């Protein structure tokens, strides 16, 4: 079943608002805790709560999706996020906020897992890269605008949380207007396979496609969770942070669709290798640019151009490798991979800040990009068409 234009537009709008909420939350809480004297390591640990929530939800989410369909899971996820943002201003306590971030992680995963699977399952092969790129653009645009809301702290400390809750409620209203659907029915051949066996099968076939979501999670959380702390400790103003982080996202937005269309024509692997290679050199250049706003801004913009599509490209690559009935399991594993990367980012980034000081976040990001590029470069993954030919 193909996605209607209206349904696709609603899903993309919801993803935009979710990206805005996530993009606001990471630097907002990082700045609040840094200003209250919380250590960089604890700050980084707190940022992992969102992704712990994603990991906790992952094993339990596929069965309800197959039973009830996409829409109920998206609505329940939105309710969890709305209530959590509403409760933030009532009690500013480290562990209470940790639990709220964890619940947001669970709700966001229900939302993103459902929308990703809905879009990838119903996109034709020749437009899959394009459609998932538009999905990525929507999330990235929201995520890029989100950090600008740190300036609202100067107006009212509670205003950013209430704004996010209101926008997520708008998403809830939009979602009620579209018709529910369910994923493709599992074939008779795979009906007797347990969930664990299916995950093993997905990992065996498509593990290389899980590396780009890990990389993007690492990048996103390190830049938005650790870079504000690093910047404040190295004399870089909050105004610089509020401008430089959106530059990364803006670069990703401008190249997301062209890279998606190119990957439809040239293949995912060459475009991914290109992204990792030029992303590495762009981030490496920031090591010598910390004292120049425009040079730092330009390099963050270039880095976003090359690496901002990694999550959507990984999802498209995974969809090339897996049969349709395995896409829900594949999207769960992509979410887990993204979450592990997102958890590793602030922890490693915070530790590098404490250990290496100047240029710390550069070392952690460049090292990650180099290591993950090697399997993509040297491992030969087989498309589902080749696998079907072998088993025919």
What are the two backbone dihedrals, phi and then psi, of residue 258, each rounded to the nearest 5 degrees? -60, -40
Number of domains in the chain: 1
Find the CATH number of the domain harbouring 249.
Answer: 1.20.1250.20
Q: What is the pLDDT of residue 387?
A: 47
Residues 271, 259: Cα–Cα separation, whole Å: 7
Residue 237: the pLDDT is 77
Look at residue 349 in the predicted model and tell me its pLDDT: 76
CA-derived radius of gyration, the chain: 20
Separation between Cα atoms, residue 338 and residue 70, nearest integer Å = 21
How is 143-171 classified by DSSP, letter by letter?
Answer: HHHGGGGGGGGGT-TTHHHHHHHHHHHHH
Range of the domain at 90: 5-391
Q: Which residue has the tokens 């020749």?
A: 126
Q: Which residues of the chain have pLDDT under 70?
A: 1-3, 185-195, 357-360, 381-392
The alpha carbon dihedral of 270, 136, 216, 296 has a sign of: positive
- Which residues, at least 6 apart from 37, have a Cβ–Cβ distance to it below 8 Å? none
Buried b (16+ CB within 10 A) or exposed e, 72-109: bbbbbbbebbbebbbbbeeeeeeeebbebbbbbbbbbb
Is the distance from CB of 349 to CB of 364 less than 8 angstroms?
A: yes
pLDDT for the residue 388: 47
Among 17, 19, 42, residue whose Cα is nearest residue 30: 42
CA distance 35 to 20: 23
How far is Cα 339 from Cα 149, in angstroms, rounded to an integer? 24
33 vs 42: CA distance, rounded Å: 9
Asked if 334 and 314 count as a contact pair (C-beta separation under 8 A), the reply is yes
238 by DSSP, 3-state: which?
helix
**Contact criterion met (CB below 8 Å) for 175 and 71:** yes
pLDDT of residue 370: 93
């Amino acid at each position: 079943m193909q996605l209607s234009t209206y349904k696709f537009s609603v899903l993309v709008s919801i993803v935009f608002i979710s990206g805005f909420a996530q993009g606001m939350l990471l630097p907002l809480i990082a700045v609040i805790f840094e200003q209250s004297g919380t250590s960089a390591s604890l700050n980084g640990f707190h940022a992992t709560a969102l992704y712990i929530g994603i990991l906790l939800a992952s094993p339990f989410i596929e069965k309800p999706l197959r039973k009830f369909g996409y829409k109920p899971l998206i609505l329940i996820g939105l309710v969890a996020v709305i209530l959590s943002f509403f409760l933030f201003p009532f009690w500013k306590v480290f562990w209470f906020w940790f639990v709220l971030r964890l619940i947001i992680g669970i709700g966001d995963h229900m939302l993103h897992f459902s929308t990703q699977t809905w879009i990838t399952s119903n996109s034709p092969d020749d437009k899959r890269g394009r459609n998932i790129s538009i999905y990525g653009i929507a999330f990235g645009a929201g995520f890029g605008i989100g950090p600008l809301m740190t300036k609202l702290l100067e107006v009212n400390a509670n205003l950013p949380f209430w704004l996010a809750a209101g926008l997520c409620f708008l998403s809830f209203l939009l979602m009620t207007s579209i018709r529910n659907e369910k994923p493709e029915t599992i074939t008779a051949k795979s009906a007797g396979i347990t969930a664990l066996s299916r995950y093993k099968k997905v990992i065996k076939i498509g593990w290389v496609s899980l590396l780009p979501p890990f990389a993007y999670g690492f990048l996103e959380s390190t830049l938005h969770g650790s870079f504000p702390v690093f910047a404040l400790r190295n004399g870089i103003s909050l105004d610089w942070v509020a401008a430089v982080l959106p530059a990364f996202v803006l670069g990703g937005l401008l190249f997301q669709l062209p890279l998606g269309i190119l990957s439809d024509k040239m293949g995912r692997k060459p475009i991914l290798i290109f992204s990792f290679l030029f992303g590495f050199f762009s981030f490496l250049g920031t090591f010598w640019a910390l004292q120049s706003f425009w040079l730092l801004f330009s390099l963050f913009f270039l880095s976003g151009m090359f690496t901002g599509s990694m999550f959507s490209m990984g999802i498209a690559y995974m969809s090339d490798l897996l049969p349709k009935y395995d896409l829900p399991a594949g999207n769960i594993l992509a979410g887990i991979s993204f979450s592990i990367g997102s958890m590793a980012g602030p922890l490693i980034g915070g530790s590098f800040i404490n250990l290496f000081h100047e240029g710390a976040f550069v070392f952690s990001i460049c090292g990650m990009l180099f290591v993950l590029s090697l399997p993509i470069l040297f491992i030969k993954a087989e498309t589902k068409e080749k696998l079907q030919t072998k088993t025919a």
